[in-house]
Chain A
């Protein structure tokens, strides 16, 4: 390999390395996405900063009802974590949906979010759960809601040299149900043709008190289908209303033609899978 590999054990050291080498440096944790891009010649850093030895970036914990997943926790740790499962089973499912177990043993939760691949599974689910990342730089620490993190394909609002240290998933309001569905017509380890993450809470009269619908793999970032949410909020979620919301989700999708299907097909599948996800939440 024609880059220098650094493996600091302290976060400050990592930040200093990134600051010193600027555009010539790239941070990695599991490096699964990095190696794909590197091998295709899309990334050519002269310095790679490995974060796996920075202890403070790992681990999964409960923070007063919020779930905090360290940036270097692997997908496999997250999918098997009792804390994650207790917080939201659908979130554990989203982590378990990524690629294969071999990849999940290596790929990290923070790396996945920093990679900002709109076809990945956790971003859509975490966005539906109103999560935010904690980001640090030599200038300080800030919280970035996921809705503001993803800017475009493989592009985030992280500043150069800024690192994700954790993702924080707030406590779900009591009675909230969540679903993650992934349409995989080819292989079990494929990227989604479309995925849908949704949360829904009903008030005592059965009407929808709160709802979030996020579409994955059908746009440059995960797409929050706010029009679909608006159609449901305050309404009785009967089959007709869910169908109406699903049709709005279809219109919210912004896919491209590729080997997983034409844009028109993916839009239609966004409708079908939104309907299925929402039905599962009111069943």
Chain B
């Protein structure tokens, strides 16, 4: 039989999705269900003096109105529990919730929420990261010492308005700078952006006897279960989390928002309570990518080879750190300021600040687009100053086996030189460009995912297999991947493997989708299970044969990639379009060929939006781009063709040698586009690269 992996996959959930029969959390309903609505703060920072709910309670159909006093001291978060379920003494951003209503209809709930009468006393607000971290800045979390941290002790921070702080140093930066022929310094900035997943958040909570049930859009159900257990003071095994199809995540849906007040509303009413977030609220209160300001200083020798590097990275964490799962309370790759390069000596300092903006959290390759935009622009400026071709400068500095990266870690293998050689060839680098065109390059690297999980496999009399896993599929193709790994190992057709995603009561603990881990971790667990099934079968065990497949993926390995992008620039308006793009990606063995292409092309479009247009514009703490009429993302008409070159022969730690692609290729798009526009005549140091900024740069002004 032909190799399963060479056949384009058929998505296990594809038919349901394209025929509209797929059910999402917003479709979940229960007998007697109530609808929730929330009252949010109109001020970015204020004391809550009094909350009067009399008028809200008088609305016909209202069953409960809760305020901060009813939930105190419940605060939620993925790691640090710093976000009050409902504010009782202080609101910290516009939209911070002060009351929750459950009513017979969504309209009644909304009408009542609008009638909650809150008396505020405004406090000085702080919106700028550096201002927030300055001595004497208004304190946003005076009670931070009381906050709980899940699983670990909170690392110390240098300022009460710091969410997280990290410093890394390796080699001898002072000596490296002293030895440098030239030293360059640049500062770049990026605004917060939203994931723009199709499906807004939704949740349904009900309490059945001693058991709390949650239907959610959260992509990590076991993590939500642990958080809810901590917030509600309920045992984990008294909570069942059901995650149906997730309609896009991009990291944002690791944080739950509505589930917490819904739990309290369900408890007080004894009824199921559901909410579906409006997209305007998605854009105003949810978990954005962090805005950032990044200053980089790099020394190079006469040939442009990096001798030392220094970085100061500031992230705008917004009002709460609740959206960040890693113990440092930073975006995951906060320190990766020169990802993919040999950096013999470095000092990198990163701080994530509390501000009175909406809270920031995880978004596809957290921290990487920020650092990639800064680093790739910085290196391009250096190449230009040195008179070295930008691709050539990258070839000289690309990390090779045995080199150390910006974290001081040695790479035992590196595909980066091959990626760049292939990019040079496939993009036709150096071919003369028409007037008004510019060409840019940027590279990137991302670790393949790590983590552990187990899943359950059953082989029946006919030789068919059922796999039960607690992993969610947020559109990445996890369930299809698991099925194909099992099918290939057992040499059966993929249709003979059924993969079921089951709730937290019926699955071994699972880390959920995220951190690019699923193919590495769940794929290896599926492979392990398939091997156990084969062994049992070959040993003569009688079906049904049931085994548990497990994996603990700890390998530290990277996927490498690079873009070449060509733009055409209208010098009279500053508008430009990407007319040609090449992506070379080191992806290892491909399990789902269609999904791999989809993730890489989608990552390109995702990065293109961030480069060209995406910005959650915030004025005085208020998001002014609170609809997709104002917050634009590329439509298919705006995405140019992408020439995609896959390097598949350098095996990764995943099943059959797979690596990850979900978060591989979006970060470097911004730098490649910025560098192409610069090549056409306009260097823009802040995102998005709007036509207006380009025109200002062309005319010699600041951009």
Tell me the complex Cα distance, A261–B692, Å: 6
Contact among B624, B633, B638, B695 for A259, CB-based, below 8 A = B624
- Which residues from chain B contact A187 at a C-beta distance below 8 Å? 613, 632-635, 637-638
Given the known A-B contacts A2-B107, A39-B278, are A191 and B629 also in contact in the complex, defined by CB atoms under 8 Å? yes
What chain A residues lie within 8 Å of B638 (beta carbons)? 187-188
A153 at the interface (CB under 8 A from B): no
Contacts of B648 in A (CB 8 A): none
How many whole Å from B578's CB to the nearest CB in chain A?
Answer: 13
Q: Which residues of the partner chain B approach A193 to less than 8 Å between Cβ atoms?
A: 691
Chain B residues with CB under 8 A of A258: 630
Contact of A261 (CB < 8 Å), options: B629, B635, B691: B691
B3 beta carbon closer than 8 Å to chain A = no
B residues within 8 A CB of A189?
Answer: 635, 637
A154 at the interface (CB under 8 A from B): no
| Interface membership of chain A positions 181-194, coded 1 if the CB is closer than 8 angstroms to chain B and 0 otherwise | 00101111111010
| Residue B466 at the chain A interface, CB threshold 8 Å | no
Residues of B within 8 A of A259 (CB): 615, 617, 624-625, 630
Give, as a whole number of angstroms, the nearest-CB distance from A221 to chain B.
Answer: 19
What residues of chain A lie closer than 8 Å to B278, measured between beta carbons?
39
Give residues 246-283 of A contacting B (CB, 8 Å): 258-259, 261-262, 265, 268-269, 272
> B575 — which chain A residues lie within 8 A by C-beta?
183, 185
B-contact 0/1 string along A155-179, CB 8 Å cutoff? 0000000000000000000000000
Known contacts A269-B573, A272-B572; A100 and B635 CB within 8 A of each other: yes
C-alpha gap A146/B633 in the complex (Å): 33
Any A CB within 8 A of the CB of B612: yes
User: Would you call B574 an interface residue if the criterion is a C-beta within 8 Å of the partner chain's C-beta atoms?
Assistant: yes
Does B690 make an interface contact (CB < 8 A)? Answer: yes
Docked pose: A191 CA to B638 CA in angstroms: 14
Interface check A36, CB cutoff 8 A: yes
Option from B107, B624, B635, B691 in Cβ contact (under 8 Å) with A185 = B691
User: A36-B629, A259-B617, A265-B695 are known contacts. Are A183 and B690 too (CB-CB below 8 A)?
Assistant: no
Query: A40 — which chain B residues lie within 8 A by C-beta?
Result: 280, 627
Bound-state Cα–Cα, A190 to B630, Å: 8
* A185 engages B630 (CB within 8 Å): no
Task: Check A261 against B690 for contact (C-beta < 8 Å).
Answer: yes
- Give bound CA distance, A261 to B575, whole Å: 12
C-beta contact mask, B599-629 vs A, less than 8 Å → 1, else 0?
0000000000000110101000000110101
A150 to B638, CA, bound (A): 32
B634: nearest chain-A partner, CB-CB: A187
Bound Cα distance from A262 to B573, whole angstroms: 13
Chain B proximity of A159: nearest CB distance (Å): 29
Contact, CB under 8 Å: B615 / A186: no
Contact between B574 and A185, CB atoms less than 8 A apart: yes
Give 1 or 0 for each of B547-563: 1 = CB within 8 Å of chain A CB: 00000000000000000
Asked if residues A186 and B573 are in contact (CB atoms below 8 Å), the reply is no
Considering only residues 48-100 of chain A, those with a C-beta below 8 Å from chain B are 100
**CB nearest to A269 among chain B residues:** B573
Please give the distance in Å from B590's CB to the nearest CB on chain A. 31
One digit per residue, 1 when the CB lies within 8 angstroms of any chain B CB and 0 when it does not, for chain A 180-219 equals 0001011111110100000000000000000000000000
Cβ-defined contact, A185 with B573, below 8 A: yes
User: Are A185 and B690 neighbours in the complex by a CB distance under 8 Å?
Assistant: yes
A279 to chain B minimum Cβ distance, whole angstroms, is: 12
The listed residue with most B CB atoms (<10 A of its CB), out of A36, A185, A269, is A185
Which of B615, B627, B634, B692 touches A262 (beta carbons < 8 Å)? B692
**Nearest residue, chain A, Cβ from B106:** A2
Q: B632 contacts A190, CB within 8 Å?
A: yes
When distances are taken between beta carbons in the complex, the residues of chain A under 8 Å from B615 are 259
Contacts of A190 in B (CB 8 A): 632
Q: Counting chain A CB atoms within 10 Å of each CB, which of B572, B627, B633 scores highest?
A: B572
* Minimum distance in angstroms from A101 CB to a CB of chain B: 10
Q: In the docked arrangement, what's the CA distance between A193 and B634, Å? A: 16
When distances are taken between beta carbons in the complex, the residues of chain B under 8 Å from A269 are 573
Q: Which residues of B have CB within 8 Å of A100?
A: 635
Q: Is B692 a contact partner of A265 (Cβ separation < 8 A)?
A: yes
In-complex Cβ contact of B573 among A36, A183, A188, A191 (8 A): A183
Residues of A within 8 A of B630 (CB): 258-259
State the CA gap A265–B692 with chains docked (Å).
7
Chain B residues contacting A191 (CB-CB under 8 Å) are: 629
Whether the pair A272, B573 counts as a contact (CB closer than 8 A) is: yes
In chain A, what residue has the closest Cβ to B628? Answer: A189
Q: Provide the bound-state CA to CA distance between A187 and B572, in Å.
A: 19
Q: In the complex the two chains form, what is the Cα distance from A186 to B633 in whole Å? A: 8
**Residues of the B chain whose Cβ atoms lie less than 8 Å from the Cβ of A36:** 627, 629
Contacts of A261 in B (CB 8 A): 690-692
CB distance from A246 to the nearest CB of B (A): 11
Residues of B within 8 A of A39 (CB): 278, 280
Contacts of B635 in A (CB 8 A): 100, 187-189
Q: Which of A29-50 contact B (CB under 8 A)?
A: 36, 39-40
User: Which residue of A has the minimal Cβ distance to B609?
Assistant: A187
For window 622-660 of B, CB contacts with A under 8 Å fall at: 624-625, 627, 629-630, 632-635, 637-638
Contact digits for B260-295, partner A, Cβ 8 Å, 1 yes 0 no: 000000000000000000101000000000000000
Enumerate chain B residues within 8 angstroms of A183, measured Cβ to Cβ.
573, 575
CB proximity to A under 8 Å, residues B336-385:
none
Find the B residue at minimum CB distance from A261. B692
The chain A residue sitting closest to B615, CB to CB, is A259
CB distance from A243 to the nearest CB of B (A): 12
Distance in Å from the Cβ of A119 to the closest Cβ of chain B?
Answer: 10
CB distance from B639 to the nearest CB of A (A): 10
How near does chain A come to B604, taking the closest CB pair, in angstroms?
16
Known: A2-B107, A259-B615, A259-B624. A188 touches B637 (CB 8 A): yes
**Chain A residue with Cβ nearest B695:** A265
Going nearest first, the 10 A-B pairs with the smallest beta carbon separation are A185-B691, A188-B637, A185-B575, A186-B613, A265-B692, A261-B692, A186-B632, A187-B632, A187-B638, A2-B107
- List 24 contacting pairs A-B, 8 Å CB cutoff, sorted by A: A36-B627, A36-B629, A39-B278, A39-B280, A185-B573, A186-B632, A186-B690, A187-B634, A187-B635, A188-B637, A188-B638, A189-B637, A190-B632, A193-B691, A258-B630, A259-B615, A259-B624, A259-B630, A261-B692, A265-B692, A265-B695, A268-B695, A272-B572, A272-B573
**Interface set of B (CB-CB < 8 Å, partner A):** 107, 278, 280, 572-575, 612-613, 615, 617, 624-625, 627, 629-630, 632-635, 637-638, 690-692, 695
Beyond A187-B634, A258-B630, A261-B692, 20 additional pairs, beta carbon < 8 A: A2-B107, A36-B627, A183-B575, A185-B573, A185-B574, A185-B690, A186-B632, A187-B613, A187-B633, A187-B637, A189-B635, A190-B632, A191-B629, A259-B615, A259-B617, A259-B630, A261-B691, A265-B695, A268-B695, A272-B572
